[in-house]
């Protein structure tokens, strides 16, 4: 996937970051029919939320949050939600495998497949 991702310095001004993201996506995927699949990573306070809001508005993709999907799984009392809740109540981290399964299930839904996701 090295040709499908770009590393952007999040310490720059918000407009400069947004401009670089926009330029990359327009150039790399101009005219592409495939839904966009975007991941933003960074430490707390790095501007992930600001960039997410920009990208959500710009591309109309579905916002997907790992923690929100875990909360939904717990409140829906799914098998994965029950396991996640037990681990959290024990003070343990939710296993990566469990988080991946919850995300895969969410990303396979029609809205994410049709509109793309962030």
7 and 51: one domain? yes
In which domain, by residue range, is 76 found? 66-117
19 and 47: one domain? yes
Q: Quote the pLDDT of residue 42.
A: 84
83 and 52: one domain? no
26-76 pLDDT, tens digit per residue, is: 766 565 667 888 888 888 888 889 889 988 998 899 999 999 999 999 999
Residue that is last in its domain, among 24, 43, 59: 59
The pTM assigned to this predicted structure is 0.72
**Total domain count for the chain?**
2
8 and 37: one domain? yes
CA-CA distances (angstroms) from residue 13 to 2, 16, 18, 38? 26, 5, 9, 20
11 and 40: one domain? yes
């Amino acid at each position: 996937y090295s040709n499908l991702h770009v590393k952007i310095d999040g310490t720059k001004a918000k407009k400069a970051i947004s401009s670089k993201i926009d330029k990359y996506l327009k150039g790399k995927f101009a005219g592409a029919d495939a839904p966009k699949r975007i991941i933003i990573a960074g430490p707390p306070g790095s501007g992930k939320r600001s960039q997410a809001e920009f990208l959500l508005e710009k591309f109309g993709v579905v916002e997907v949050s790992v923690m929100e999907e875990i909360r939904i799984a717990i409140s829906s009392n799914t098998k994965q939600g029950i396991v996640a809740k037990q681990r959290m109540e024990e003070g343990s981290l939710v296993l990566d495998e469990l988080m991946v399964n919850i995300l895969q299930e969410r990303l396979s839904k029609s809205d994410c497949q049709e509109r793309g996701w962030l």
